[in-house]
Structure formats: C-alpha cells, structure tokens
Structure 1
C-alpha cells in the first residue's frame, strides 16, 4: 500500500475515533452478551502479519472493541506472508493454496468467528458451506437489504445463490466520464445512463477530430488513454464470460465468433484512432521547439487534458478532476466541465458492467464458536453509524444508499456509480480456481493472448489470424502445462511478437488475478 495513502487512512481513523466513540458507545451499550464476562472474537483475514496488524485494527476492529465491553479481538491471517519471506528464492515463488489456507482457519480446532475477504472468495466459501446465511439475521434485526445500493447487494446475492452471506460497508465502482464542452462543440447529445457499448462506440466515432497535437479522441478504456492493453479487452469482455480454454485446461476455446467480435470492436477503435494509440501520444507530447518544459502533473491523462471525449474511470478519478480544476490557473490548463453516466452494457447483459470491486466483505463462519458476537461485529461494521463514517472516503463509496452523496461543491450524476452490477467472475467456481492453483503456468495462456493481441493492434495480423494462431499455439502450450504445470517452460514466445522469452517467471499477482483469488 502507498505510504502516503496509508498515512492518510491512519489520520482519518484517529479523527473519526475521537468524534464517534461517544455516539457509537451509546448505541452499543446494551448490545451483546454480559459485558462482565470477557470473551474473544477471532477474526480471519485473507493474509497479513503481526507487523501490519495495527493498521488492520485501526481500519476494522478498534472502534468495535472500544464500544463493546468484554470483547477482545484476535486477528488470524489465513496466509502470513512473512513465513517464507526469508526462504530461498525457489520457496518464495511457491504459491500457497489460498482457499485451503482459508478453510484451515475456518474449520480447524479453533475456528475463526468472522471471516473478512474479497469478492473472489464469496462464491467458493458459500459453495463449501463455510458461511452462515445472513438473511434470517438481517430480518430479525430489521436490516433491509434494499438500504444497500444495487451494485453491492445484487453482486453479493449473485455470488451467494440469491442469498446474502456477507456484507461490506464500502465498494469501489466505475463510470463513464465525459467532457461536456467537447460535446457542446460538435453539437452532439451527451451520453446518458443505460447506453450499450455499440451506442458509446458510435458516439465516440462522431467525437473524433483532428490530428497530431490538435487531435481529440472519442473514447478510451481507461483514464491514461493509450494503453493498448489486453487488460482493457478483458475488462470490456468480462460480462460475456468468454473462456480461453475448456474445463480441463486441455483445449483452447478462443477461435470463435464471440471472441472475434470482441477483438474486432476494440481493434477497430485503435485502427481508426477513435481511441488513442501510443503514436498519438508521442505526437501530442513532442518536445517543444524552444525546449521549455510545461509543468503539467496530469500529462499523459488525455481525458483530464480535454483530449478525450469519454473514458472509463473509477470513483477516485474525481479526486484528480478536483485537483485539476482547483489548480487550473496555476498550471495554465483549462478547467474540466464533466459528468458521469453508467458504464455501457453488452447486448443481452443489460445492467451488468464496469469494474466494481466489493472488498472487505465480512461473513459469519458457519462453525463459529462465538456466533452472537460474530454477527454483532458484522452488523456493526455494516451499520449506519460506521457507514456514515466511511462515507467520508474519497476512494470508496459507502454501500448504504442514504450516504451516497455528491461531494460538497460539485454537481454530477452520482447514481451512475451505483446502478450497474459487477460482472460475474469468470473463475468463480471452486473447480476453476483450483485449476489455476494446480497449474499456475496457465497464466502463460493469457500472456500468449496478449502477444497476439499486440500483433492485431500493430497491424501485423488480422483478428481472425491472431485468434487462429492463439488457438494453435495455445493448444501446444496447454499440453506442455499438463506435463509441467508449475515449472519453467521455455520457447513459448519465440515466434510470437516480442521475440524469445527464454522461459517465463510466473508473477504471483498475475496468477491470483487470473485465478480469481487475488
């Protein structure tokens, strides 16, 4: 975590503690068991260590412990990432089975009472019957699921077989940002909520104009503009649930009309310079003839510089817009007149789309030794008082609808961040997650696709040719992975764009992201 961001969180936590303790204490004074009997509430986390436990306590448990007499909190990480920190390099590269580690602390001799986890773990935990269903508890305590924004509660229910097994006080959504002035300039109607991707792409083509330094682009998949990234394609296609290979990871499944349509839609935007490419960025930011360097901390972010009409951005992008507009005169930049609408949807997948992350979900262990305090903690963490405090965050949105508000001094369509459900996770089943854990080299299949996608963007292959090549090369790779699921595999990329690879070292974060467990 960025130290500056962590320091900010510590300061906010300290301020909030002093302001809200009296209120929360009054609300919690008569709750829970007999406060004269001390008891321990064991809270499980995905990972952690004794060294960073203080930060976790400040974020999640200190307030609860202060306002609930007689309860001591014990933090139990499923994976202590310091355990192999000082091992030799080969052992450091060994990835622990995250699901097995979580199951161990939830089903062992001394199981945790509460589990805090991210969205990728919800469906597996539910399917393994490791979490207690919260719907009856919510009904008993008159907690209405409709008080939570649809993006949160619908996403949770979708991963929980239409039931609630966990709650979260915050989430990180995205939206389609647009530049009002650019639309006014060409006389085009501004975007609106509930647009399809085809509608947005057609509008983007209308907004494209100029060349070189005078170019204005219609759309970018992220605020940085010219990433030409395969990751953007994956995010764009996520609601379609396209798979790269079969359930046994033995046969590629990419040479299909569905994959072709996705790649062609994106590639055409780059080919026609509707979406900026790296060469466009280079032309736009050529060194001035006089050699003078202009101070622009937002250089490279084309939307913030008025060079992109629409872009997909997270909720925290508002921070940068606010900084830009507050300092525009100093930087000699034009203020941004902007708004947001919902992320576009794919036909047949209305209401689904965008990068929506439900982090810090909390659930009650089905085998909890202290289930009453466990539910009290989950209820407290997702209650109105705590949500009101968390609503101050400029990086996350509160999950409760009543605290979702436009920031002071601003005017924008805040509901755009709350309407779309998160795309179902492709590797949500236990079987699929286990496949990636057993065969971490499967990450190489994604990298292979990235290489062929790059050839399409650079005009070296058509979409059909690239997908056919990915299928052929991928099938060969899958057979090698079948016999060598974890060790180094050489020569995979020798005849693919980018040259030889000399073997590839599997990156932990990439594997976890691909497996839906990071």
Structure 2
C-alpha cells in the first residue's frame, strides 16, 4: 500500500498539462528592469533527467516573463536511484525524501523554493525551515480574496493560521449522481453537505435488481472490482482514524470508532447497497474496446459514485460518443459535495494540495523566490492553467464548468482538506518497509466480516493482536517482512 501512496505523491508532483506558450508570451506579469542575471533554485521531492514536464507547469512561464532569472530544478531524490529497488539480489533502502530535502535546503548552495505536499510542508514549518509569507503578502498587498477559501484555510491549518506556502492548483473529488435514476425512482437527489448516513439512506432506496441487472445505490469509487477495504478510506479519512500510533508501536484499530466504520460499510456491502468486490465482471465481446467496461457509473451499475475532478472528462467523452457505443445511453449527471461526518462537517472530498510552494528559510535568492510564488498564484497564470483537465486552479474566478455544461462545480472545492496528523509517517515507512503489511493485513480480517465469518468487533480485535505482533517484530528488526 505504501508504494501506491508514494506513487500517488510522485505522480501528483510531476504530472502536468502542456501550457500554451503563445498565451504565456502575452502575460502581463511584472519583469525585473535591471540586467543582473540571477539563478533561482527550485526543489522538488522527486525528479529525473528530464524535467520538462515540471518546467511546463511551474517555471517556463515565469522565465519568459522574468528574463533575468534562470531556474534550476533540484530534485531531493533522483528517480534513477529507484532502479533495482526491491531486487533481492541487490537490496537497497527506500530513499528518505525528507532527509534528502533537508540536505538541499541547507549547506553551501541551498535551494530557494520548495514545491511539496501538505505533509512535507507541515514538517518544514515545524522545524522552522520555511519562511512565513504573511509579511510579504501584506507588503505587496497580495490579494487572497479570490483564492478558494477551503484551500486557503487548509494552508493556514498547516501553520497555526499563518501562511507559509501557496498553491496554484489542487485536486479534489465529489459525489457524482445519475439524475435519471433518482427521477425514475421518485427519490429526491442528494444535495451539498449531506452526511454519510443521509447518503447511505438514499443509496439504500436506489438499490434495485438482481444478478446482472443489479444496480448499487452508491460506490466509493467509479471502478468495479476489489474489496471495499481500501476504497472505504473515503468514508473514514476525515475522522483521522489511525491503524497504529505515531511511533508504530501499538495498534489502534480495536476501538468503537473503527468498529462503527467496519459495521457500517460491511452491512452496506452484504446488503448489496455498495459493491462487495466479488461481483462478476462483464466480459469484453467481439474484440471491441468498451470504454464503459469496469466503470460502475458509466455502465449504469450505481446511482452514485465518488470520483475525481478529471472523471468529468470521461463523462463528457462518453456522452459525446454515445451513438458509437452499443447499449450505452447518455447519462444525465450532476455532482454534490462528498458526504461529511457530523464530527467534521467542513472536512472531506480528498482535496489534495500537492504543489504547495514555500520559500526556504536559508534561501540565497528569497526575492525571486517570492516573485515566482506570486506569479504562479496570479490571475494571469490561473487564466492559462484553468484549461487543465486534471486539476483545479486555486483562484475560484477561473473555475468554471467544462464544455459549456451546467453542473455544480463548487462541489469540488467547498469542503476543507483533511489536515495531516502524523508528519513522521513517511519516515516510519522508510525505516520499516514491512510496515505497510500491517495495514494490508486488515483486509484479510475485513473480508472475513464480509463473509459473515466474524463480527467487526472480533475481526478488529484479531487484527489488533496480530498487528501488535508484527509491530513488535519490526521494532526488533526494522527490515523484517511477513508472509
């Protein structure tokens, strides 16, 4: 599981959309009037020989409008170092990104800007390694009124209500629903800010049919197949439940909160309100490519599903090409905010701030560092980047529905992101590579609940006991692995 999480962070840092250079040339960002040539060093968590994608998203436009500044991209970890990772014949350790980042932020030639995610930035704030931006923003009268409030509040949550970083883009998710299914069932569709219990009640009312004609009321993801063990994280993330304590010494799953989560989700799966993961998959026929195969929402197998912002592209493409696909009918859809828990009514939706930009406290060129951050978070840049199909820009004036459609775009940015709790988690996984197996072990016990072999309380108790054994072994031998 850890590798998947790392993969997500790496992709979130380097995945980009190509910018339209002719438009960039017309931007009106201020330029330095002196002839002094300066270097601005920008740190990323990961990078490789080819940094063109990163430059296209973050620095090309800045260099074109600030001709006296040359940007150097400095990755904390070279992706080339991962070649051969996991090869038993040549064992090597997962690079410690945080320690690697600290090295390039200090020393004789420190970087000026750091581009990273919330967990990393929070760690740097706690260690006083990045500058507070509030004084600079006040001095330059930098306007934040157009920045998505939930994004700005999420940033402030990292630094005790102070601003240490800004992000030009963010990713998010929302609850997609099939308007036609609700209308046909005579049920009022979901609305923003509904609780999980509200949505589960609606899902129960929309569940219908048997066998291949069965329709789920809801799914935690648009993709079919697989146990809900991982996808149900959508349900409990905002509760900030932990599998083990911050030192990875003791399991924390044997608790009433965890029992409620497992009881709720397992019952929904057993009652076929949500996918259980063992449903038969439709087979591709006659060698034809079927773009809706494996997609619960597009195939009409669920009335509601949580999907990322970029899922809109698939819906638009499918509806545009409906006449070319056998047995496919256009879907009349809309979105609302992901469900929330009463304990955390403002948090949810997997808002992910992966491109936070901060100034190194030891920056050699702090002035140009601030100029870069200002430009990347300006209206000029937002206007260009708003064309992206994969992320949303942080300035809400430029967040608009695609293709002239009319859907609830605000659903993607109304809720606040889940604040990071344990900034030491990455270091624990690097120190103990087998730690992910402790979390993965839970799926074995959760599936026993789905099979009615154990109650949630029994299964969680056994997972806690087994997990404590595994944690004890890892404490003695951090490189231990498990069968």
Fold shared per TM-score above 0.5:
yes
Q: Which runs of 5+ in 2 are unaligned?
A: 1-6
Deviation at 1:369, TM superposition (A): 1.1
Quote the offset at 1:87 in angstroms: 8.4
* Alpha-carbon shift at residue 337 of structure 1 (Å): 0.3
Q: 1:448 aligns with which of 425, 429, 441?
A: 441
Q: Name the CA shift for 1:95/1:8 in 2 (closer, same or farther; >3 Å).
A: closer
Cα distance in structure 2, aligned partners of 1:407 and 1:346: 30
8 Å contact from structure 1 (residues 295, 331) kept in 2: no
The question of whether the paired residues in 1 share the 8 Å contact of 2:221 and 2:307 is answered with: yes
Aligned length: 472
Which residues of structure 1 form unaligned runs of 5+?
490-500, 502-518
Q: Alpha-carbon deviation of 1:162? A: 1.2
Whether the 8 Å contact between 1:355 and 1:422 is mirrored in structure 2 is yes
Query: Once the two structures are superposed, what CA deviation does each residue of 1:298-344 show, in whole Å capped at 9, x if it has no partner?
Result: 11212112221111000011000001100111103100000000000
Per-residue CA deviations over 1:341-398 (Å, capped at 9, x if unaligned) read 0000011100101222112111111111111111001111111111111100011111
Alignment of 1:57-206 (within 5 A): 57-83=55-81, 85=83, 89=87, 93-206=92-205
Alignment RMSD: 2.4
Q: 1:496 aligns to what?
A: none
State the SS of the aligned residue for 2:40. Answer: strand
Q: State the 1:461 CA deviation.
A: 2.0
- The residue number in structure 2 matching 1:435 is 428
- Specify whether residues 368 and 349 from structure 1 end up closer, same or farther in structure 2 by C-alpha distance, changes over 3 A only: same
The question of whether the paired residues in 1 share the 8 Å contact of 2:192 and 2:336 is answered with: yes
Pick aligned residue for 1:324 from 301, 318, 321: 318
Q: Which residue of 2 aligns with 1:470?
A: 463
8 Å contact from structure 1 (residues 224, 302) kept in 2: yes
| 1:48–1:77 contact (8 Å) kept in structure 2 | yes
- Residue number in structure 1 paired with 2:337: 342
Which residue in 1 is equivalent to 2:366? 371
Does residue 381 (structure 1) correspond to residue 402 (structure 2)? The answer is no
Q: Tell me the residue number matched to 1:515.
A: none
Change (3 A) 1:126 1:457: same
CA distance in 1, matches of 2:13, 2:460: 43
Q: TM-score when scaled to structure 1? A: 0.86
* Alignment partner, residue 17 of structure 1: 21
Separation in 2, partners of 1:73, 1:38: 11
Query: Whole-Å Cα distance in 2 between the matches of residues 75 and 8 of structure 1?
Result: 15
Matches within 5 A, 1:19-38: 19-21=23-25, 23-24=26-27, 26-29=28-31, 32=32, 35-38=34-37
Q: Offset at 1:245?
A: 2.0
C-alpha deviation, 1:263, in angstroms: 0.8
Higher RCO (C-alpha 8 Å, min separation 6): 2
Question: 1-side partners of 2:298 and 2:268: how far apart?
Answer: 20
> In structure 2, do the counterparts of structure 1 residues 125 and 337 end up closer, same or farther at CA, with 3 Å as the change threshold?
same
Q: Distance in 2 between matches of 1:116 and 1:6?
A: 8
Report how far residue 247 of structure 1 moved.
3.4
- Distance in 2 (CA, whole Å) between partners of 1:103 and 1:8 is 24
Task: Give the Å deviation of 1:227.
Answer: 3.0
Q: Is the 8 A contact 1:84 1:92 kept in 2?
A: no
Name 2:3's counterpart in structure 1.
none
SS at match of 1:146: coil
Shift of 1:6: 13
- Deviations 1:489-517 (Å, cap 9, x if unpaired)? 4xxxxxxxxxxx3xxxxxxxxxxxxxxxx
Query: How many Å separate the matches in 2 of 1:148 and 1:6?
Result: 21
Q: Cα deviations across residues 140-190 of structure 1 (Å, max 9, x unaligned)?
A: 222233311123111111122211111111111100000000000110001
CA distance in 2 between partners of 1:158 and 1:9 (Å):
26
Distance in structure 2 (CA, Å) of the matches to 1:211 and 1:148: 47
- Asked if structure 1 preserves the Cα contact closer than 8 Å seen for 2:473 and 2:480, the reply is no
Deviation at 1:9, TM superposition (A): 5.5
Is 2:309 the counterpart of 1:315? yes
Contact 2:38 2:68 in 1 (8 A): yes
| Conserved 8 A contact 1:85-1:92 | no
Partner of 1:47: 46
- Provide the secondary structure at the position in 2 that maps to 1:78: strand
For 2:86 and 2:210, locate their aligned partners in 1 and report how far apart those are by CA, in whole Å.
53
Task: Name the stretch that deviates more: 68-77 or 309-318.
Answer: 68-77
Q: Counterparts of 2:259 and 2:407 in 1: how far apart (Å)? A: 36
User: 1:41 and 1:92, CA in 2 relative to 1: closer, same or farther beyond 3 A?
Assistant: farther
Partners of 2:205 and 2:87 in 1: CA distance: 53
Q: How has the CA–CA distance of structure 1 residues 181 and 381 changed in structure 2, closer, same or farther, with 3 Å as cutoff?
A: same
Superposition pairs for residues 280-295 of structure 1, below 5 Å?
280-282=279-281, 285=282
The answer on whether the counterparts of 2:85 and 2:93 sit within 8 Å (CA) in structure 1 is no
SS at 2:44's partner residue? Answer: strand
Q: 1:484 aligns with which of 450, 474, 477?
A: 477
Partners of 1:417 and 1:388 lie apart in 2 by 18
Residue of structure 2 in register with 1:425 after alignment? 420
- Give the drift of 1:453: 1.4
Local SS of the residue matching 1:41? strand
